[in-house]
Amino acid sequence: MSRPTVRLLTVLLFVSLWVVPYVTAQEDGLQVSQKESGPRPLRPSPSSSGMSQPGQPPTQPGMPQSGQPPYTMGGPQTGQQDGDFQGSLGKGGHKRYVPSLSNPFVNETPYITTEIRPIYMYHNLPDNIPAAGVRGGNINLWAVQLRVALSQRFGFILNKSGWADVNLNVPGMDDDAFTNLGFGFKYALVDEPRQGSLITAGLTYEAPSGGLKAGGTWLQGNGEGFLSPFFTALETTNKVSVQALFGAKFALDRDANTSFFHYALHMDYEMVPGFFPLVEFNGFIPIDEGNRTPYAFEGLDLFSTGAENPASVITFAAGSRFKLGKNLLAGVAYEIPLTDDEDILDWRLTADLVIRY
């Protein structure tokens, strides 16, 4: 069986495992909605018509009644106080938190949270990397992400910091060093906990602070860094959550590094309490090629070679998240390329812990 056929069958298998629970959840939600809906009163209540109840001050039509939260442009205020570092998950906020797992350096969650996320990644390189003498190898990467909810809607993110150990099947080309440092901010434009909806925009800067090389080629630490704007959103229905992201990574030195669009789709289902199988798709589209190396690969979310001829790549990841405690999540995912152009990805295993405040 050919490799593209195996990939297609793998994707169909995992997507089918998600679609069936999704349809079931939608039907359950519809039935619950129909049961809870009842006939409307024929006459407006005194409070809705602006008349006050005995012992209560008069009210005006359109104004929130006693015990109801006031509404803002982005949704109802939840009563959460800024400065408690709870963000989207504070009092009256979202109750379900299952962040995306694969491509963690560019696939940012729409939630505003305070958390530390240690990450381990084993990345296997393909045997046919179009570079002089390179025939496979692997990368071990240890990273830590930090997020701080500065308010209910506004958060700081340290999305990239780590140590990479590159092992190539070529003598003299191995190296280990720090990756670049990436940080920025994000803001929840729409926050609707009752509807399970969240839309967030953000901007990060990746500084050329790393020192990683492969032979004479800089993988991290070259050029003037990247600016990366992004939009990310989620919709939660019963036990199903769907998240999507679209962003760009613009090289500030256009000769040294390549600029590209990137996108992601995440779907998870709570099969049993605390267990969330998930599938994810990720894509990379070069939009402004570098002029530093003659390679046909760029490095996806990990590195940047400044290649002259990088190709578009789509990947697929399947895995699970596990709720180990009230503020502790673990996750593991296996990722493969779906396109014939693999860049530097043969397969990848990503594991992390989400330690939330």
The number of helix segments (H) and strand segments (E) in the chain equals 1, 18
233: amino acid identity, one letter: A
For 147-190, what is each residue's pLDDT tens digit? 999 999 999 999 999 999 999 888 778 899 999 999 999 999 99
Question: Which regions of 104-257 does DSSP assign to beta strands (E)?
Answer: 115-125, 137-149, 154-160, 162-168, 175-178, 181-192, 197-207, 213-214, 217-218, 226-237, 240-251
At residue 130 the predicted structure's pLDDT band, cuts being 50, 70 and 90, is low
pLDDT at 5 over 70: no
Q: Decide: helix, strand or coil at residue 61.
A: coil
Q: What is the pLDDT of residue 71?
A: 40
Across the range 230-243, mean pLDDT stands at 95
Q: Name the phi and psi angles at 90, rounded to 5.
A: -75, -170
> Cα separation of 54 and 217, whole Å?
79
- Per residue in 203-227, pLDDT (tens digit) is 999 999 999 988 788 899 989 999 9
Q: What is the mean pLDDT of residues 313-340?
A: 96
Q: Which domains does the chain have, with CATH numbers?
A: 81-356 (2.40.160.40)
- Position 42 scores a pLDDT of 47
pLDDT digits (tens, 9 = 90+) for 23-60: 344 444 444 444 444 554 444 444 444 444 455 555 44
At residue 26, the pLDDT reads 45
Tokens 């699970």 correspond to: 320
Of 307, 313, 302, 317, the closest CA to residue 347 belongs to 317
- The pLDDT > 70 percentage for the chain reads 76
**Confidence category of residue 76, pLDDT binned at 50, 70, 90:** very low
Task: In whole angstroms, give the CA distance from residue 190 to residue 112.
Answer: 12
Q: Is the pLDDT of residue 110 over 90?
A: yes
| Beta bridge pairs of residue 242 | 235, 267
Please tell me the predicted confidence (pLDDT) of residue 297.
Answer: 86
Nearest-Å Rg of the Cα atoms of the chain is: 24
Higher per-residue confidence, 83 vs 293 = 293
Residue 267, pLDDT score: 97
Average pLDDT, the chain: 82
16 vs 191, which has greater pLDDT?
Answer: 191
pLDDT digits (tens, 9 = 90+) for 246-297: 999 999 999 999 999 999 999 999 999 999 999 999 999 999 999 898 888 8
Q: What is the DSSP letter of 272?
A: B
